[in-house]
Chain A
Amino acid sequence: MLKIEDLHVEVEGKPILKGISLEVAAGEVHAIMGPNGSGKSTLAYVLAGREGYEVTKGSITYKGEDLLEMVPEARAAEGIFLGFQYPVAIPGVSNIYFLKAALNAIRKHRGQDPLDAIDFMKLSKEKAAIVQLPDELTKRSVNDGFSGGEKKRNEIFQMALLEPSLAVLDETDSGLDIDALKVVAQGVNALRGPERAMLVITHYQRLLDHIVPDVVHVLIDGRIVRTGDKNLAKQLEREGYSEVRDAPSL
């Protein structure tokens, strides 16, 4: 589904990603782990098409197409979802209205009819239940005045509603207490399926106890230094990033 080859990315002239190659097939969950500043969020933003991230070398192919050619909304319509580390507030715009506009834009792209208000509300209630998002939050302005945990739950709620093919979850666990983490992880697990790939970006192994990955990559200083199975994450937890970086590749 996703193929990244020798990806180099600069931000304001400073190299951040220095040659990343990665392949994710449908149905797989890959975790990307790394210390702060290793380039994890940069990778997420490049996948979603944020401006200011300049690809100087390499390619990203998504469903056989050149992803880098697409504008952000086209990527979204093609099924890429980014769960933001810091979801921004949009005062005055209700969450539910926002999502309906987004879902119908995506449906339009897929050649589907827009959902009417009644069907949408039904769908929304169903999906909100997955992450136990209170009804009241779906009606408030997008992320406005939400707590950290509420924001993250809202992200997963949106993911459930938009049903992406590739979900990129950037530090979805940061700022969550253990109960909230379980709820969010349950939400994510509920969405795992043979047609859907996920890229779970995290600093901590903790999340991966709840969302068990098929493949784990360790990203340090813009390069993937190790790739392994879920046990690599455990090893990282025990030994720390520097040990893993210095150890010979498996």
Chain B
Amino acid sequence: MSSATEPIDEILKKSYDAGFVTDIEQEYAPPGLNEDIVKFISKKKQEPEWLLQWRLKAYRRWQQMSEPRWAKVSYPEIDYQDICYYAAPKTDKDAPKSLDEVDPELLETYEKLGIPLHEREVLAGVAVDAVFDSVSVATTFREKLAEVGVIFMSFSEAVQEHPELIKKYLGSVVPVSDNFFAALNSAVFSDGSFVYIPKGVRCPMELSTYFRINAAKTGQFERTLIVADEGSYVSYLEGCTAPMRDENQLHAAVVELVAHKDAEIKYSTVQNWYPGDENGKGGIFNFVTKRGLCEGEASKISWTQVETGSAITWKYPSCILKGDDSIGEFYSVALSNHRQQADTGTKMIHLGKNTKSTIISKGISAGHGQQTYRGGVKIMRGADNARNYTQCDSLLIGDKCGAHTVPYVDVRNSTSKLEHEATTSRIGEDQLFYCRQRGLSEEDAVSLIVNGFAKEVLKELPMEFAVEAQKLLGVSLEGAVG
């Protein structure tokens, strides 16, 4: 693997590389949330009336809801009136049309993050829709994608250019009242990405979005909607980083996927939001709702996630397997070091006949980290011959961390078959010694063993993401042993 040639020592030395703040002029909405703010956001984005009404409906529902407290995470109360719900870089004109028009300082930000747009354009052939706080600043490769009919643009643009698609699919998988955080997002989401793959089209490149929270005291509420029409295919990558700040920041995104007949969506995430420092100060509160609907026959949705960041992670990318013969997959590596807490997993809801789901979850706890796998598999009455296989393994490093496994299984069809396996173990002293005897330092040995533990999931990631994810696991475990 290519990371072998990287001097791992150097990587281990790094703390949180993405922890810089870009000094750029921003436009803020005043902190706090009320109907006026919702209207302000909608107006800023020149949205049609129906969307404003949709947001207001969500806002009113949200007011009646309370924050979910069932997850095994603890955090101080969030003051929703102390958060800015809109921040956008000030630009002289409208959104830039090419990279040349993008603020050079912004481009430098991406440079530091290791995603130079130009380089990606040329070398990797990845189209990047970069979301800087709330507004999409650059979308590359749009024209090339447009040739095959693929729509890939910021959510706000899509609202203007393809209102009929947005109206049809927005909230169709995650309704506004789905949960507290989804309702909040629905009321105040500022931007995000929209992807539409037309019938029979295999998207010619990996689509990728890097999200970044920059402004202080800013919540990020992006919204992603991906629709794969009949017989199409798309692979979508999402990377996340945030600058280091002492106070906590809220991230409440919603991702909706719709796969029609014979379509396939592969959604990969490398989440490296700022996790807070060793003592648990600062860090992102990540409350995300991700759900895919396998609407059509033989459709497939596959979630792959590598979660190394955030102070709090609350996230359950799920699949509703409605179409007969549809397939749902969830591959996850989640790592909690220092004071991080992650409560993550998936839900697989089998409605259609011959539906299949696979869940592979690998949790790693180190330091004072707390890690919970929470998963639900439901096989409903009509889901004849449904199959589920779940494997969730936990690896413990050190004696102050915790690993918890909470699967819920509900089966109502006698022709279905479900298997769930879970193990919890520690890194073996004999494994560490073996590696060290061959000349590897203890940190490298841990990183190696952890990457081996997570391999089944990492191999699901597109190549360049896999390398990044491996490095991240090493960096995130810094100081975990010894």
Checking B428, B440, B456 against A101 with a beta-carbon cut-off of 8 angstroms, the contacting residue is B440
**Which B438-456 residues have C-beta < 8 A from chain A?**
438-442, 444, 448-449, 451-456
- Mark A77-91 against chain B: 1 for CB-CB distance below 8 A, else 0: 100011010011011
Q: Does B434 interact with chain A (Cβ within 8 Å)?
A: yes
> Do the beta carbons of A105 and B434 come within 8 Å of each other?
no
> Which chain A positions have C-beta within 8 A of B434?
84, 87-88, 90, 142
Contacts known (A90-B431, A92-B456); A97 close to B1, Cβ less than 8 A: yes
Q: Does B79 interact with chain A (Cβ within 8 Å)?
A: no
Q: Does A24 interact with chain B (Cβ within 8 Å)?
A: no
Contacts known (A88-B428, A88-B431, A93-B451); A76 close to B437, Cβ less than 8 A: yes
> Do the beta carbons of A117 and B431 come within 8 Å of each other?
no
**Which A73-119 residues have C-beta < 8 A from chain B?**
73, 75-77, 81-82, 84, 87-88, 90-93, 97-106, 108-109, 114, 116-117
Least CB separation from A120: chain B residue: B4
Q: Does A50 interact with chain B (Cβ within 8 Å)?
A: yes
> Do the beta carbons of B429 and A51 come within 8 Å of each other?
yes
CB distance from A149 to the nearest CB of B (A): 19
Q: Does A219 interact with chain B (Cβ within 8 Å)?
A: no
State in angstroms the CA–CA spacing of A210 and B455 once bound together: 40
State in angstroms the CA–CA spacing of A45 and B16 once bound together: 38
State in angstroms the CA–CA spacing of A158 and B438 once bound together: 9
State in angstroms the CA–CA spacing of A105 and B4 once bound together: 10
Contacts known (A92-B456, A97-B1, A117-B4); A105 close to B439, Cβ less than 8 A: yes
State in angstroms the CA–CA spacing of A206 and B433 once bound together: 29
**Which B379-398 residues have C-beta < 8 A from chain A?**
none
Interface size, A (range): 35 or more
Q: Does B435 interact with chain A (Cβ within 8 Å)?
A: yes
State in angstroms the CA–CA spacing of A71 and B455 once bound together: 28
> Do the beta carbons of B455 and A82 come within 8 Å of each other?
no
> Do the beta carbons of A109 and B439 come within 8 Å of each other?
yes
- Mark B73-85 against chain A: 1 for CB-CB distance below 8 A, else 0: 0000000000000
Contacts known (A97-B1, A101-B444); A92 close to B454, Cβ less than 8 A: yes
Q: Does B436 interact with chain A (Cβ within 8 Å)?
A: yes
The interface centre, meaning the residue of B1, B428, B442 with most chain A CB atoms within 10 A of its CB, is: B1
> Do the beta carbons of B431 and A76 come within 8 Å of each other?
no
Q: Does A137 interact with chain B (Cβ within 8 Å)?
A: no
Contacts known (A93-B449, A117-B5); A88 close to B441, Cβ less than 8 A: no
Q: Does B430 interact with chain A (Cβ within 8 Å)?
A: yes
The interface centre, meaning the residue of B1, B2, B435, B442 with most chain A CB atoms within 10 A of its CB, is: B435
- Mark B398-440 against chain A: 1 for CB-CB distance below 8 A, else 0: 0000000000000000000000000000001111011111111
State in angstroms the CA–CA spacing of A101 and B7 once bound together: 9
> Which chain A positions have C-beta within 8 A of B8?
101
Contacts known (A97-B4, A101-B4, A117-B4); A92 close to B439, Cβ less than 8 A: no
Interface size, B (range): 20 to 34
> Which chain A positions have C-beta within 8 A of B448?
90, 93, 98, 101
State in angstroms the CA–CA spacing of A120 and B213 once bound together: 42
Least CB separation from B9: chain A residue: A108
Least CB separation from A114: chain B residue: B5
CB distance from B246 to the nearest CB of A (A): 36
**Which A172-215 residues have C-beta < 8 A from chain B?**
none
> Which chain B positions have C-beta within 8 A of A90?
431, 434-435, 448-449, 452
Q: Does A72 interact with chain B (Cβ within 8 Å)?
A: yes
> Do the beta carbons of A73 and B436 come within 8 Å of each other?
yes
> Which chain B positions have C-beta within 8 A of A102?
435, 438-440
> Do the beta carbons of A98 and B429 come within 8 Å of each other?
no
State in angstroms the CA–CA spacing of A76 and B436 once bound together: 7
Checking A84, A88, A97, A162 against B439 with a beta-carbon cut-off of 8 angstroms, the contacting residue is A162
> Do the beta carbons of B452 and A76 come within 8 Å of each other?
no
> Do the beta carbons of A93 and B452 come within 8 Å of each other?
yes
> Which chain A positions have C-beta within 8 A of B442?
71, 73
CB distance from A45 to the nearest CB of B (A): 8
> Do the beta carbons of B429 and A91 come within 8 Å of each other?
no
Q: Does A160 interact with chain B (Cβ within 8 Å)?
A: no
> Which chain A positions have C-beta within 8 A of B452?
90-93, 141
> Which chain A positions have C-beta within 8 A of B449?
90, 93
CB distance from A96 to the nearest CB of B (A): 9
CB distance from A140 to the nearest CB of B (A): 12
State in angstroms the CA–CA spacing of A105 and B449 once bound together: 16
State in angstroms the CA–CA spacing of A104 and B435 once bound together: 13
Q: Does A218 interact with chain B (Cβ within 8 Å)?
A: no
> Do the beta carbons of B451 and A73 come within 8 Å of each other?
no
Q: Does A48 interact with chain B (Cβ within 8 Å)?
A: yes
CB distance from B50 to the nearest CB of A (A): 50
**Which A110-150 residues have C-beta < 8 A from chain B?**
114, 116-117, 141-142
Checking A92, A104, A162 against B4 with a beta-carbon cut-off of 8 angstroms, the contacting residue is A104
The interface centre, meaning the residue of A75, A81, A92 with most chain B CB atoms within 10 A of its CB, is: A92
Contacts known (A90-B431, A117-B4); A72 close to B436, Cβ less than 8 A: yes
> Do the beta carbons of A92 and B440 come within 8 Å of each other?
no
CB distance from B159 to the nearest CB of A (A): 44
CB distance from A93 to the nearest CB of B (A): 4
Least CB separation from B8: chain A residue: A101
> Do the beta carbons of B437 and A105 come within 8 Å of each other?
no
> Do the beta carbons of A105 and B456 come within 8 Å of each other?
no
Least CB separation from B441: chain A residue: A73
Least CB separation from A141: chain B residue: B452
> Do the beta carbons of A73 and B439 come within 8 Å of each other?
yes
> Do the beta carbons of B438 and A162 come within 8 Å of each other?
yes
**Which B22-58 residues have C-beta < 8 A from chain A?**
none
CB distance from A90 to the nearest CB of B (A): 5
> Do the beta carbons of B430 and A88 come within 8 Å of each other?
yes
- Mark A46-60 against chain B: 1 for CB-CB distance below 8 A, else 0: 001111000000000
Least CB separation from B459: chain A residue: A92
CB distance from B5 to the nearest CB of A (A): 6
CB distance from A86 to the nearest CB of B (A): 8
CB distance from A102 to the nearest CB of B (A): 4
CB distance from A101 to the nearest CB of B (A): 6
> Which chain B positions have C-beta within 8 A of A142?
434
6 tightest A-B contacts by CB?
Answer: A92-B452, A93-B452, A92-B455, A76-B439, A72-B436, A102-B438
Q: Please list 5 pairs of residues, one from A and one from B, whose beta carbons are closer than 8 Å in the complex, sorted by A's number.
A: A73-B436, A77-B439, A93-B451, A105-B439, A106-B439
